[in-house]
């Protein structure tokens, strides 16, 4: 059920930073415990925490939301993975679900590749531009189906945050 990596769990107003390692260690807000999951049903698990076994039911309640039942108590947990936290950090989280007609630079960077040209039809999720920022390549994708109306940059161009890169119609 869990995958190795870094996560943030939001439960109501509380936030928990979680690190999951390959060896079964779970670090929550700098406190480390030994954990394990044993599947006993489709959504049912035995959660092993420091040698104690607890029955837990984990059900999807949305794209990034889980409904967790532990000891008869139901809690809704929003889980953000490393990618979601990175998007949030760079101010891209709101753009991720938006159906934008203008594609703007989410951060200052260097245009590495323009993957489309004017008049080209694109589908939601198609790659449009590769932008290098902080030594990371970020592929900007179409948030909706459309046609490329104008391309305002070329490979090698330096751009600032919120610069207009291309327009879709």
159/130 same-domain check: yes
Partnered with residue 111 across adjacent β-strands are 131
The predicted model scores a pTM of 0.49
pLDDT given at position 18 = 86
Quick check: is 91 in a domain?
no
- CATH number, domain at 116? 2.40.50.100
Quick check: is 122 in a domain?
yes
- CATH number, domain at 44? 3.30.700.30
Q: Which residues contact 73 (CB under 8 A, 6 or more apart)?
A: none
- Split into its structural domains, the chain has a count of 2
Q: Of 31, 48, 82, which one is at a domain's C-terminal end?
A: 82
Quick check: is 90 in a domain?
no
pLDDT given at position 39 = 86
92-145 pLDDT, tens digit per residue, is 555 544 445 888 888 889 999 999 999 999 998 899 999 998 778 888 888 888
27/63 same-domain check: yes
Judged against a pLDDT cut of 80, whether residue 72 lies above it is answered with: yes
Range of the domain at 23: 5-82
141/113 same-domain check: yes
Quick check: is 60 in a domain?
yes
pLDDT given at position 102 = 85
46/113 same-domain check: no
Q: Of 82, 108, 142, which one is at a domain's C-terminal end?
A: 82
Quick check: is 33 in a domain?
yes
32/78 same-domain check: yes
23-58 pLDDT, tens digit per residue, is 767 888 988 887 887 889 888 988 888 778 889 999
112/77 same-domain check: no
Quick check: is 87 in a domain?
no
73-82 pLDDT, tens digit per residue, is 899 999 888 7
| b/e sequence 90-118, b meaning 16+ C-beta within 10 Å | bebeeeeeeeeeebbbbbebebbebbbee
pLDDT given at position 99 = 45
pLDDT given at position 98 = 45
| Torsion sign, CA atoms 15, 76, 37, 48 | positive
Quick check: is 89 in a domain?
no
As given in the structure block, the two tokens for residue 10 are: 């939001």
pLDDT given at position 81 = 81
Q: Of 47, 82, 117, which one is at a domain's C-terminal end?
A: 82
Quick check: is 47 in a domain?
yes
């Amino acid at each position: 059920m869990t995958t190795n990596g870094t996560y943030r769990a939001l439960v109501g107003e509380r936030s928990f930073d979680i690190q999951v390692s390959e060896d079964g260690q779970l670090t929550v807000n700098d406190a480390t415990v030994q954990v394990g999951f044993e599947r006993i049903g489709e959504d049912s698990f035995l959660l092993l925490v420091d040698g104690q076994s607890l029955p837990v039911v984990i059900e999807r309640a949305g794209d990034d939301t889980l409904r967790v039942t532990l000891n008869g108590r139901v809690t809704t947990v929003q889980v953000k993975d490393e990618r979601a936290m990175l998007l949030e950090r760079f101010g891209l989280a709101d753009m991720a679900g938006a159906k934008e007609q203008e594609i703007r630079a989410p951060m200052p960077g260097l245009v590495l590749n323009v993957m489309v040209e004017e008049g080209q039809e694109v589908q939601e999720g198609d790659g449009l531009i590769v932008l290098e920022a902080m030594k990371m390549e970020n592929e900007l994708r179409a948030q909706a189906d459309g046609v490329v109306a104008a391309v305002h940059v070329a490979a090698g161009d330096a751009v600032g945050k919120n610069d207009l890169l291309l327009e879709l119609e």
